[in-house]
């Protein structure tokens, strides 16, 4: 028979091992998964070129860009744009009620909607795009965005700063979670590459240029455009 203290020690070890096993068995894997594209269209109507924005890039006034999101799993994607004038715009979701009323998996969402593209104006500077994806909604970030939208002109600058700070705090909170994969999607048996010279810039469906992003609980990425 084991001494009492040895028995208690073994019991504790067994309980700890069981708890660890349960935690490992229920740990989420790839509970954030979506398809994504960020495409720029440069040049005049006679000589347009396409480029996939992967992180940082340089564009000129008059150049255009378009984004695409398709939710493969029930997760929450936020695309927030900060202009060179420090104005903040939520590009996705489309509205504050979107995840309550319009949420659909495996549906193509274009930013802007339909066949339209955003066009860079004549105000150069740094254009910043924050992409955050979470297995749960981000209420603090959503509140900061609502507060910014409702602020009067005198409060916009401070509101934009609060939004950016909340993005930083959210990323810090989830810094232990990592991206599992970010890879091109296979379309009709062919893996999409980043060569776009043979595509028609005026007729392209940017969904065909998408990458798949998968992560455990949280993903974030920041894109900057050097607007010249």
pLDDT reported for residue 97: 87
Across the chain, mean pLDDT equals 82
* pTM score, whole prediction: 0.80
Angstrom distance (rounded) from CA 70 to CA 106: 6
pLDDT at 13 over 60: no
In this structure, the dihedral spanned by the alpha carbons of residues 91, 93, 96 and 101, taken in order and rounded to 10 degrees, is 150
144 or 182: which carries more pLDDT confidence? 144
Residues 6+ apart with CB under 8 A from 217: 28, 31, 32, 134, 135, 174, 177
Q: In the prediction, which pLDDT does 7 show?
A: 43
Domain ranges of the chain: 1-28, 31-227
Q: pLDDT category, 91, cuts 50, 70, 90?
A: very high
Hey, which of 38-42, 79-83, 196-200 has the most confident mean pLDDT?
Answer: 79-83
pLDDT digits (tens, 9 = 90+) for 191-224: 344 445 567 777 889 999 999 999 999 999 999 9
Q: What is the pLDDT of residue 184?
A: 67
Return the structure tokens found at 140.
């603090």
> Does residue 28 carry a pLDDT above 60?
no
Residues 6+ apart with CB under 8 A from 121: 61
| 98 pLDDT higher than 60 | yes
Torsion angles phi and psi, residue 94, rounded to 5: -65, -30
């Amino acid at each position: 028979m084991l001494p009492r203290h040895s028995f208690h020690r073994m019991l504790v070890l067994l309980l700890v091992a069981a708890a660890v096993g349960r935690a490992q068995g229920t740990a989420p894997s790839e509970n954030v998964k979506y398809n994504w594209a960020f495409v720029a269209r440069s040049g005049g109507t006679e000589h347009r070129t396409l480029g996939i924005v992967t992180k940082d890039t340089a564009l000129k006034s008059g150049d255009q860009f378009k984004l695409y999101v398709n939710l493969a799993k029930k997760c929450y994607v936020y695309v927030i744009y900060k202009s060179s004038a420090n104005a903040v715009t939520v590009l996705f979701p489309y509205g504050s009620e979107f995840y309550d009323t319009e949420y659909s998996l495996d549906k193509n969402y274009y930013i802007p909607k339909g066949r339209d593209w955003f066009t860079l104006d004549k105000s150069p500077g740094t254009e910043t795009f924050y992409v955050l994806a979470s297995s749960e909604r981000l209420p603090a970030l959503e509140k900061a965005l609502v507060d910014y939208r409702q602020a009067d002109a005198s409060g916009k600058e401070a509101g934009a700063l609060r939004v950016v700070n909340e993005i930083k705090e959210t990323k810090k909170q989830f810094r232990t979670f990592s991206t599992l994969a970010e890879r091109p999607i296979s379309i009709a048996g062919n893996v999409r590459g980043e060569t776009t010279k043979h595509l028609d810039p005026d007729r392209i469906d940017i969904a065909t240029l998408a990458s798949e992003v998968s992560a455990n609980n949280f993903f974030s990425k920041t894109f900057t455009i050097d607007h010249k």
